[in-house]
Amino acid sequence: MAGSGTLSAFRLPPLPTIREIIKLFRLQAAKQLSQNFLLDLRLTDKIVRKAGNLTDAYVYEVGPGPGGITRSILNANVAELLVVEKDSRFIPGLQMLSDAAPGKLRIVHGDVLTFKIERAFPESLKRQWEDDPPNVHIIGNLPFNVSTPLIIKWLENVSCRDGPFIYGRTQMMLTFQKEVAERLTANTGSKQRSRLSVMAQYLCSVQHILTIPGQAFVPKPEVDVGVVHFTPLVRPRIEQPFKLVEKVVQNAFQFRRKFCYRGLGEELKQNKSKNQEKEDDKEKHRL
């Protein structure tokens, strides 16, 4: 495991470009996996810079693909980068990066939705929840088909302070379809306000950092891409269990705009009915 306190900034040696890596290993984006490659290293560098100061940081990258963002993270002088990649076709190209950065890059062939990160980084990195965020970051260009279930999973982890948040208020920099990014960051009263807005913002400070045009990706998606930064709050804005908040919010947004109260009404009716059943049961036992 790489140590901290390096004397000089690390830079990767000359390597084939991402486009050349794609040709070398005959990589093609899998449409069924919603894969889109970001080849412009100026853009990947910008994403990594916006994540904050990564000097001597421990970074968890999800879905590295051919390794564009991976290169930018390594060039940010991190202590260690852990990447989790489900698609085995990308492993040889990532291994090439690992060979060029000895002790810096750790590759896991696995699924980010099931990967356990709790013991991935040193115990010494853990911080109290009330302290500043730990020197641990999550960065990822997420496939569109997993972005929403993954952020919901991680928001539940924030609520429970487990998973990646066992280290403290771990910060995240993630890509989404622009529409999803706008929903995540939508203010109260906005047309884009949604279930995602409430679930994200009651637990985190959420910022739409930049928008990347679709033509920057290969293959070009039909939509632009939003880059969103998350910092967990010291205290959630709603101090209730995650599953309860999720259920209430889900019911509220089943009906759009002025009919929203119907969703809440249904939830209240269900709870009232359950409470009445409990009272009836108690009455039977008394008799």
Residue numbers in the known binding site for S-adenosyl-L-methionine are: 36, 38, 63, 85, 111, 141
Q: How far is it, in rounded angstroms, from Cα 37 to Cα 64? A: 9
Q: How far is it, in rounded angstroms, from Cα 218 to Cα 86? A: 19
Tell me: cis bond preceding 219? Omega within 30 of 0 counts: yes
Q: How far is it, in rounded angstroms, from Cα 146 to Cα 28? A: 19
Q: How does DSSP classify residue 13?
A: P
Q: How far is it, in rounded angstroms, from Cα 84 to Cα 243? A: 27
Q: How far is it, in rounded angstroms, from Cα 183 to Cα 194? A: 6
Pairing outcome for strands 204-212 and 225-232: antiparallel
Question: In whole angstroms, how large is the CA radius of gyration of the chain?
Answer: 22
Provide the annotated binding site.
36, 38, 63, 85, 111, 141
Q: How far is it, in rounded angstroms, from Cα 169 to Cα 220? A: 34
Q: How far is it, in rounded angstroms, from Cα 187 to Cα 123? A: 37
Tokens of 195: 């279930």
